[in-house]
Amino acid sequence: MNLCVHLGAAAINSTPKDWEGNCRTLLSSIEQAKARGVEILCLPELAMTGYGCEDEFHAPYVASWALDLLFDELLPASLGMAITVGLPLAHEGATYNCTALLVNGELAGFVAKQNLAGDGIHYEPRFFKAWPKGRVASVECRGKHYPLGDLIFDLDGIRVGLEICEDAWVAGRPGVDLAAAAVDIILNPSASHFALQKAQTRERFVQEGSRAFHCAYVYANLLGNEAGRAIYDGDCLIATEGELIARNRMFLMQPCSLIDARVDLQANRVRRLRQASYRPEPAHPLRMISVPWRPGSAAPGKAQDLPPRPDGRFEEFELAMGLALFDYMRKSSTKGFAISLSGGADSSACLMLVYRMACRLLEEQPDHPTLKWLCPEPPASVEELMQRICICAYQSSANSGPATLEAAQRLAEGCGARFVHLDVTPMVTHLEEMLASVLQRELTWEQDDLARQNIQARSRAPGIWALANAYNFLLLSTSNRSEAAVGYCTMDGDTAGSLSPIAGIDKVFLREWLRWAEQRYMPALNFVNQLAPTAELRPAAAAQTDEADLMPYPVLNRIQKLAVIQKKAPSELYPLLEEEYPDQTPQTLYGWIERYFQLWSRNQWKRERYAPSFHVDDENLDPRSWCRYPILSGNYRAELKRLREELEATHGAFS
| pLDDT tens-place string over residues 218-274 | 999 999 999 999 999 999 999 999 999 999 999 999 999 999 999 999 999 999 999
Dist CA 76 CA 93 (whole Å): 29
- Spelled out in words, what is the top-level CATH class assigned to the domain 551-655? mainly alpha
Pairing of strands 4-12, 256-264: antiparallel
For domain 310-546, which architecture applies? 3-Layer(aba) Sandwich (3.40)
Q: What's the CATH code, domain 4-291? A: 3.60.110.10
Residues in Cβ contact with 380 at an 8 Å cutoff, skipping those fewer than 6 apart: none
Dist CA 385 CA 368 (whole Å): 13
Ranges of residues in the chain with a pLDDT under 70 are 1-2, 295-303
pLDDT of residue 295: 62
Which DSSP category does 451 fall into?
H
C-alpha distances (whole Å) from 64 to each of 20, 60, 141 are 15, 7, 10
C-alpha distances (whole Å) from 207 to each of 192, 240, 634 are 17, 7, 48
The closest of 503, 178, 136, 476 to 325, measured between CA atoms, is: 476
pLDDT of residue 625: 86
- Burial class for 76, CB neighbours closer than 10 Å (0-12, 13-18, 19+): exposed
**Cα angle 464, 466, 470; round to 5:** 120
Handedness of CA 203, 205, 207, 210 (dihedral sign): negative
Domain boundaries, the chain: 4-291, 310-546, 551-655
Contact 48, 73 (CB under 8 A): no
Torsion of CA 384, 389, 395, 401, to 10 degrees: -40
pLDDT of residue 575: 97
Dist CA 637 CA 640 (whole Å): 5
Domains 4-291 and 551-655 share a fold: no
Three-class HEC string of 420-440: EEEECHHHHHHHHHHHHHHHC
- The amino acid sitting at 589 is L
Q: Give the global pTM.
A: 0.95
pLDDT of residue 541: 87
pLDDT digits (tens, 9 = 90+) for 498-540: 999 999 999 999 999 999 999 999 999 999 999 998 888 899 8
Instruction: Tell me what the pLDDT averaged over the chain comes to.
Output: 95
